[in-house]
A and B are shown apart, each in its own frame.
Chain A
């Protein structure tokens, strides 16, 4: 089993869910996270000059300093861009297929498309029935 952790744009979530459903792996965990990458949480206007002004001013896409930084008016603050973090547990043989599909759905070609990490999972248990490993995620 592998755990696929994908950090993606917030507005790509419905399409991603759809794509995973079509592949036959609809189970996933979604988290709201704040993140930053190589661009250090750059403003969206810098990431994409063609993006309409209204997009940049909306709180949805604007990078935000942490609450601690706002309260303490630090000289330098770390900025974050709001993202969605998806966790999917899948059997080994379909990892490539799912990663490819995630990439094709979420790619816009602009900075901030996100990252996908694949890590091993050693055990899984379905709580309702006590099934283990392969059966638990089927």
Chain B
């Protein structure tokens, strides 16, 4: 299994989550985060914003679905401007459902 962490624009969150739901991945955790990237924040005239608000989506999927979910997030969260975000993928050894205690997603 893989854990996919996507830092996206907060206004794109609904679009991404509904697209994932349509593709059969309804489960997701989201949290608001503040961060900056390569551009070291944002310069608007004399004002410098060091940390910009983003939404962090956390999804755990089976290995074979990894590419599909990444592509989906990438197409839906894309605006083409700086600040669209990043996607990180990390390995997950095992998953358990608390209600049943069963292993697996």
Contact = CB atoms under 8 A, between A and B. Distances in A.
A107 B93 contact: no
Contacts of A89: none
Interface string B75-105: 0000000000000001111111111010000
Interface in A81-130: 83, 85, 99, 102-103, 106-120
Interface of B: 1, 3, 10-11, 13-14, 17-18, 21, 26-31, 58, 60, 90-99, 101
Interface residues of A, number: 44
B28 A116 contact: no
B3 A77 contact: no
A118 B98 contact: no
Nearest to B93: A118
Contacts, number: 96
A31 to B, nearest CB: 6
Contacts of A39: 26
A133 interface: no
A33 B90 CA distance: 19
Contact of A116 (B30, B91, B98): B98
A7 to B, nearest CB: 6
Given A110-B99, A113-B99, A119-B93, A32 B14 contact: no
The 6 tightest CB contacts between A and B, nearest first, are A113-B98, A113-B99, A35-B29, A116-B96, A78-B17, A119-B92
Contact of A36 (B11, B14, B26, B96): B26
Interface in A23-80: 31-40, 66-69, 74, 76-78, 80
A103 B101 contact: yes
Given A78-B13, A115-B98, A118-B93, 9 more contacts: A33-B58, A67-B10, A77-B14, A78-B21, A83-B29, A112-B99, A115-B27, A118-B95, A119-B91
Contacts of A76: 18
A35 B10 contact: no
